[in-house]
Structure 1
């Protein structure tokens, strides 16, 4: 079908493909559509299937030419994409930039533009230097983890009759807003609301005002909220809230001893066993965070040295995906998210403009990783994949089959998991090749905070 083809590269990994189709194939395509019209057309004065071609062309000429042209272009592109390396990205539909075919009695030439996977090379990176902070696990940090375990294993019990609310108590309240006449405001009432005093996990943050009250007591609180209050409709206003204490509970914290360690997990015989295991876990977590920090530094510096002509359709697809994920995060649809933005005087396009620099940089880094995996010919064997599953299973305290079933339910394929392992192997190599200098000392707490 294709008599000749030519491809030219434009900016940002866009190409222009020119195709010339032989006039004989052009006529065949036209005659095929004409024959179909002749078979199906119903025109008064003619039997079905017996309408002369001239009549059909006069009545349906434009439709016949359009359908024939569409078929020709589709078939020619299918043929071309089997032969050329410059194939379009999945989300880049070839766009016709020439005139649509009209004359099917001679050779037909048409041109399309589309985006392709960007071609680039990764420059030498062995001179890149990254910093590795020095972290030590302190006794205080181990004790802080023990305290968390104590709270997790605490038993919640009712406080004795006549006890008063104290910080840290778990209380159940009924509350409602009152108007200037001390009448309840419709729709503001909330019953059996439970929260821990001191956390301020309640709409009005009335924790402090409830300290000292007993079960069954009521208190009317008048509270003025600052201009920057997190609940926008309360900001800068004064509210009157009536609160009734329905229940007061406290946590019975277990003692830190060998029995506590055994209750946490039967694998521990003593409290020292538990503390040692906590220390080892914190060391592993710190090592993992430090490793990722070194990788992030490396990619940021390599990205500055690397020129990649990222196509616009690839950036658009990245932004579309981020918007979809945002809607999913808020458990809504993209259309509802559009409406919510409109209320704030924004559009999806405004958000895309804000996101584009970071989305482009994230894409650039992923492209670099992909290219390095190809350049280094990193592969993953079946045995390595199985060991990877075992490692995950051991860390989660489950068997390998459970891990495989979990990933299958999440829709993650072996190919996707294999890519994760390839990436891990890649950075194992790279961190051995680049320069790593010792950074400043930092506590485990500060390390994890910086990583949030």
Structure 2
């Protein structure tokens, strides 16, 4: 499309006015398409629908009735061509002002555009990272063994007269009161609760310790100040609890027979060695992630950026959509979640705001470092990545490439992923762990 950029002028830090002109031929072509659309719906005596000559249509209705549809047809492609010619990266929808538009003449358009901000990099090389110990201890191995033992424990009903201990499963009836009045959602029968799981209000589970089957007890607690139900937040409450049953974990013996039952190993020593190796592998990865996060956060903190609000809003929407999808995968409707938690769309957006700002800042800084270091993704690196994906998906490389290019022409996302990894590697390699 023939588009000529007349002027780009900044009016704020990240906002400017882009003035561009679209040729007469493109304008007339858009008007032709608008006419073909409009003529299908109009009725003129003596003519069938869709058969009204252009001249009669314009004499009867005026060519101006085609202008809006023609602009809708013309603008998306023309605007895209103009921002590309001006080397701009918009981050929000533009505000459009039509300076000139008509049959037989060029179109002159002004677009107020919010663009990606410039990043003033601070120090990003030679950053100091505080050394952290990732050594795998014998206690860590023992803890994993105990978790494994606990996950294979039998659950048995405790005898009468036994008092509740931390870790027990209890079956309780309860009813909650605030200021002497029962409140909605504060009552249940035969509810199973693991003591020590911290799933109830702070202080609730601790007060059940020592209670015996059949006993009743009044439990006094305070709802947290940030509780999701505003009418209960910070309020003192009384729960009347009846203990119906106590269930207790019966742990299996940690011996070779147990190991044979739950793993491919024959002895406890073999299992412990395997656990230790896996913990060491995890520790290596954890240390790598720790150093990466440390240098990235410092590079981001050292940079100066004025982020357009539109970029933050877009990232919040992305996080909201991702959150809704994760709820859906768990079979929880979003509306039901909002109602159950006493939250709202706006309160959730407020919660996501800090994360959104950090993600946008981090992305912009890493992108700026990539540019400053002249980092690119080579053809060999792209091919290696495609081969990894193909192997994982058990598909031919060419088929994988075909699928990815259909979604992402030019494989720009794959290029960006590789460049980002290489950029982070530059930060890490120059860091000083001390």
Normalised TM-score (structure 1): 0.69
Structure 2 distance, partners of 1:255, 1:37, is: 82
Name the structure 1 match of 2:221.
Answer: 225
CA contact (8 A) 1:178 1:242 kept: no
Query: Matches of 1:358 and 1:115 in 2, distance apart?
Result: 20
| Mapped pair 1:134 → 2:133 | yes
1:192 aligned to 178, 190, 193, which one?
190
Bigger relative contact order, structure 1 or 2 (CA pairs below 8 A, ≥6 apart): 1
C-alpha contact 1:18 1:110 (8 A) present in aligned 2: yes
Give the distance between the partners of 1:435 and 1:105, measured in 2 at CA: 63
* Preserved CA contact (<8 Å) 2:100 2:108: no
Deviation at 1:321, TM superposition (A): 1.3
Quote the Cα distance in structure 2 between the aligned partners of 1:123 and 1:99.
42
Residue among 64, 67, 82 paired with 1:65 = 67
Aligned pairs (5 A) from 1:257-336: 257-266=255-264, 268-306=265-303, 312-327=309-324, 331-333=332-334
- The partner residue of 1:251 within 249, 252, 265 is 249
- What is the CA distance between 1:228 and its match in structure 2? 4.0
**Aligned alpha-carbon RMSD (Å):** 4.8
The corresponding residue for 2:22 is 21
Counterpart position of 1:436: 432
Residue in 2 aligned with 1:95? 95
Cα distance between partner residues in 2 of 1:430 and 1:27:
54
Structure 2: gaps of 5 or more residues: none
1:169-248 paired onto structure 2 within 5 Å: 169-176=168-175, 189-199=187-197, 201-202=199-200, 205-206=204-205, 208-209=207-208, 211-214=210-213, 217-219=214-216, 221-226=217-222, 228=224, 233=232, 235-239=234-238, 241-245=240-244, 247-248=245-246
Q: Give the Cα separation in 2 of the matches to 1:70 and 1:184.
A: 59
Give the direction of change, closer, same or farther, for the CA distance of 1:424–1:132 in structure 2 (3 Å limit). farther
Q: What is the Cα deviation at residue 211 of structure 1?
A: 2.4
Structure 1: segments with no counterpart, 5+ residues: 391-399, 439-452
Aligned to 1:154: 153
Structure 2 contact 119–304 (Cα < 8 Å) conserved: yes
Structure 2 distance, partners of 1:24, 1:179, is: 74
Q: Per the alignment, do residues 261 and 282 of structure 1 end up closer, same or farther by CA in structure 2, a change over 3 Å counting? A: same
C-alpha distance 309-253 of structure 1, shift in aligned 2 (>3 A):
same
| Contact 2:377/2:418 (<8 A) preserved | no
Cα deviation, residue 151, structure 1: 0.9
Number of residue pairs matched by the alignment: 411
Distance between the aligned counterparts of 1:173 and 1:194, measured in 2? 7
State the Cα distance separating 1:290 from its structure 2 match: 2.0
State the Cα distance separating 1:425 from its structure 2 match: 5.3
Cα distance in 2 for residues equivalent to 1:74 and 1:334: 35
